[in-house]
Chain A
Amino acid sequence: MAYRTTIKAGGSGADYWLDLWRNRQLLWILSKRDISVRYKQTLLGVAWSVLRPLMTMLVMVVVFSQVAKLPPDPNIPYPLMILGGLTIWTFFSGAFSQVSNSIVLNSNLVSKVYFPRLLMPLSAVAVGFIDFLISLVLFIGLSFYYNYLPSVNIVFLPLFLVLTFVSALSFGLFFSVINVRFRDIAQLIPFIVQVGMYACPIAYSTRLVRDSLPQYYKYYIMNPAVGIIDGFKWCLLGDNSYFDLNSLYPTIIVSMVALFLSVAYFRKKENTFVDYI
């Protein structure tokens, strides 16, 4: 018999990943749903995904470059440096917040039908990824405008995308579980994203942190997002862009450990969602 299911206390166990694989089409369909309903009944539609990073970049350029007169990395146009950081941050923050809310937003499904619950956070990554792609196209356009060609470093781009995916998913998974019980998380997420935008090297270069706050630099690069953002900018903008390899180790270690722990936590709690949602 192709489908044999055993239901007992404590969940399914061995066939969990097989079940996930069987439902891969559903993953695709849920992602498609999230993307296609996003801009329904809006006037500007998908243009929002272009406008938002563009406006954010303009504001940051004016404030940090024109008003505060912060220096960019050598030979890199300030707008390009900011848009590079914003692009990967868009992916991380979008995926992270969507994943955190994924279970609660799908509560109607949780209480009425079974499918591997991990599909909900996984499919929630899609929206952030689409925003990322749009922002990336914007970045490419802008680099043509500045006549700034990418370097060979670009071959490492997939590595940083995977790292971003893993860290956004694993932090998001953890919050998505807590969010089922405590809706405080929904209040907390936008705040984390907002603070994170300034705590990470998006509007400025990590080089500035190293030069002006040397005593805190080693703590600064412990932030796993720093390695991702600097690495991503390094891929797109070449060796001129500041990238300290030491900032990559915390990223790899933290995101892998977080992935392992949060998946375990998620699996432990997923069968109780229905009782609290």
Chain B
Amino acid sequence: MHVITAENISKKYIIDHQGIRKPSSLRDVVSDGFEQLFNKKKKDSAATRKEEFWALKDVNFTIDRGDRIGIVGHNGAGKSTLLKILSRITDPTTGQVSIDGRVASLLEVGTGFHPELTGRENIFLNGAILGMNKSEIKKSFDAIVDFAGVEKFLDTPVKRYSSGMYVRLGFAIAAHLEPEIMIIDEVLAVGDAEFQKKCLGKMRDVSESGRTLLFVSHNLTAIQALCNKSFYFEKGQLLDQGETSRIVTSYLSRVSQKKLEREWADIDSAPGNDEIRVKSFKLLPDYLDELMHIDVRTSMEIQFEFWNMVEDAQLNLSLHLYSFTGECIFNVGTSSQAFARGLITGTLEIPGHFLNDGSYMISIMVVKDTSSVIYNMEEALTFDVEDFREGVTWYGKWPGYIRPQLNFSLNQPESVMNG
């Protein structure tokens, strides 16, 4: 029996290109209005600068009772928009969803916690916000406190909690909801290993008790462990659905089809300037299997070529690797040397077991006379590194920017044992 039926749901956003300034105070609206009143041309151009963006487009699916659905896709694929529509936070622009049963959605841990209130008060507040009634909360109160491990701090305002305690309490409340349908967005990315194990166990209980689960995560390991079926979203469309293992495989292979090579054949239209022109950037992973995707074990080589247009130029190259959130992970530079006019090539090796899973961007800078930047190409290449682990029962996001394999061992000197 279908518990969720979605027919043709789409969500449109209007992106305002009216410069950086968005009219956000009445004064701006009034002054914009006046400008447009007296300057008709401007109004026309302002209208054309508004752009439609379909975060979801014609999505259809049905979900059966007891299904555990994993939702995968890149950032901006429409996963979060879908969850927002299913949780009734925002309306679809078109289409319709019918849901049978009570829905609890967990888009954030500890939604509505008030920092000034105590843990005890917040359990009741948060529980009510998530849709529990008072008797249900009372019934599971002890279990929640126990699960979160905050007995001693029940009467302390949550603003004095450590972030770990805060998150644990938030998840504990959500875990004791008893809805027929549960929607979870990326909450496993929090807490310590011990707690994540508890969370996963709880989520498995939820699904084994016949309830329906929708789970969005970038963490494919967790999705494979939890979900029997999966949806793959790309650019607002539901591209594929089916058995989790098949969807994850096809997702990974599609990921690897991302353009990792950029080439410009014509020197005149290639990016650059009078001094240098870029010919190509390539990221060549040393794939481990036929799936052709980059995971944390994969080593790769970055190859680049550019034309030097100036005779006897003293050049060196500087390469930055950024995380998707914009932090620079590292910066490496070549030594400076003299080049004649013509093609210059270079390579950089990035070893396997070095970068953590995540999305990365590379920017390349050409420097003249070790001092002046003559060309800087931001986001020259972007690529994703997928997670891989063996022999662990923990599926949380592996912390850190890098994930090196270092010599790390334990031993027990006998002398200490005797003493």
Binding site for B on A (CB under 8 A): 1-12, 25-26, 29-30, 33, 36-37, 40-41, 106, 108-115, 181-184, 271, 274-275
The 5 closest A-B pairs by CB, nearest first: A114-B88, A8-B96, A40-B116, A7-B97, A29-B128
Query: In the docked arrangement, what's the CA distance between A8 and B5, Å?
Result: 12
Residues of B near A181 (CB, < 8 A) are 24
Residues of A near B114 (CB, < 8 A) are 33, 37
The minimal Cβ–Cβ distance linking A2 to chain B, given in whole angstroms, is 8
Residues of A near B112 (CB, < 8 A) are 106, 108-109, 112-113
Q: Mark B79-106, 1 if CB is under 8 A from A, else 0.
A: 0000011111111111111111111010
Cβ-defined contact, A108 with B121, below 8 A: no
The minimal Cβ–Cβ distance linking B328 to chain A, given in whole angstroms, is 30
Query: In the docked arrangement, what's the CA distance between A182 and B335, Å?
Result: 55
Query: In the docked arrangement, what's the CA distance between A63 and B92, Å?
Result: 58
Given A8-B97, A33-B117, A182-B25, A115:B91 Cβ within 8 A: no
Query: In the docked arrangement, what's the CA distance between A115 and B29, Å?
Result: 31
Q: Is B360 an interface residue (CB 8 A)?
A: no
Residues of A near B27 (CB, < 8 A) are 184
Residues of B near A110 (CB, < 8 A) are 89
Q: Mark B101-126, 1 if CB is under 8 A from A, else 0.
A: 11101011001101011000100110
The minimal Cβ–Cβ distance linking A100 to chain B, given in whole angstroms, is 15
Cβ-defined contact, A26 with B129, below 8 A: yes
Contact of B116 among A7, A37, A109 (CB under 8 A): A37
Cβ-defined contact, B105 with A9, below 8 A: no
Cβ-defined contact, A183 with B24, below 8 A: yes
Given A4-B100, A8-B97, A29-B125, A112:B91 Cβ within 8 A: no
Which chain B residue has the least Cβ–Cβ distance from A271? B91
The minimal Cβ–Cβ distance linking B67 to chain A, given in whole angstroms, is 17
Contact of A1 among B87, B101, B121 (CB under 8 A): B101
Contact of B129 among A2, A4, A8, A109 (CB under 8 A): A109
Residues of B near A2 (CB, < 8 A) are 102
Query: In the docked arrangement, what's the CA distance between A41 and B177, Å?
Result: 32
Cβ-defined contact, A7 with B133, below 8 A: no
Cβ-defined contact, A112 with B92, below 8 A: no
Residues of A near B278 (CB, < 8 A) are none
Cβ-defined contact, A36 with B117, below 8 A: yes
The minimal Cβ–Cβ distance linking A173 to chain B, given in whole angstroms, is 19
Given contacts A30-B125, A109-B129, 12 further A-B contacts (CB under 8 A): A3-B101, A5-B99, A7-B92, A36-B121, A112-B108, A113-B130, A114-B89, A114-B105, A182-B24, A182-B29, A183-B25, A271-B90
Residues of A near B94 (CB, < 8 A) are 9
Q: Mark B360-404, 1 if CB is under 8 A from A, else 0.
A: 000000000000000000000000000000000000000000000
Query: In the docked arrangement, what's the CA distance between A41 and B157, Å?
Result: 11
Q: Is B254 an interface residue (CB 8 A)?
A: no
Q: Is B134 an interface residue (CB 8 A)?
A: yes
Query: In the docked arrangement, what's the CA distance between A276 and B90, Å?
Result: 11
Cβ-defined contact, B99 with A108, below 8 A: no
Residues of B near A30 (CB, < 8 A) are 125, 128
Residues of A near B26 (CB, < 8 A) are 182, 184
The minimal Cβ–Cβ distance linking A192 to chain B, given in whole angstroms, is 15
Cβ-defined contact, B129 with A115, below 8 A: yes
The minimal Cβ–Cβ distance linking A109 to chain B, given in whole angstroms, is 5
Contact of A25 among B133, B157, B180 (CB under 8 A): B133
Cβ-defined contact, B91 with A7, below 8 A: yes
Contact of A113 among B91, B92, B93, B129 (CB under 8 A): B129
The minimal Cβ–Cβ distance linking B280 to chain A, given in whole angstroms, is 42
The minimal Cβ–Cβ distance linking B154 to chain A, given in whole angstroms, is 16
Query: In the docked arrangement, what's the CA distance between A184 and B187, Å?
Result: 36
Query: In the docked arrangement, what's the CA distance between A10 and B101, Å?
Result: 21
Residues of B near A36 (CB, < 8 A) are 117, 121
List, sorted by A's number, 8 A–B pairs whose CB atoms are closer than 8 Å.
A3-B103, A3-B180, A4-B98, A5-B98, A7-B96, A11-B91, A29-B129, A36-B121
The minimal Cβ–Cβ distance linking B124 to chain A, given in whole angstroms, is 6
Residues of A near B129 (CB, < 8 A) are 26, 29, 109, 113, 115
Cβ-defined contact, B88 with A5, below 8 A: yes
The minimal Cβ–Cβ distance linking A16 to chain B, given in whole angstroms, is 12
Residues of A near B91 (CB, < 8 A) are 7-11, 271
Which chain B residue has the least Cβ–Cβ distance from A181? B24
Residues of A near B89 (CB, < 8 A) are 110-114, 274
Q: Mark B293-327, 1 if CB is under 8 A from A, else 0.
A: 00000000000000000000000000000000000
Residues of A near B131 (CB, < 8 A) are 115
Which chain A residue has the least Cβ–Cβ distance from B29? A182
Query: In the docked arrangement, what's the CA distance between A183 and B128, Å?
Result: 29
Query: In the docked arrangement, what's the CA distance between A156 and B129, Å?
Result: 37
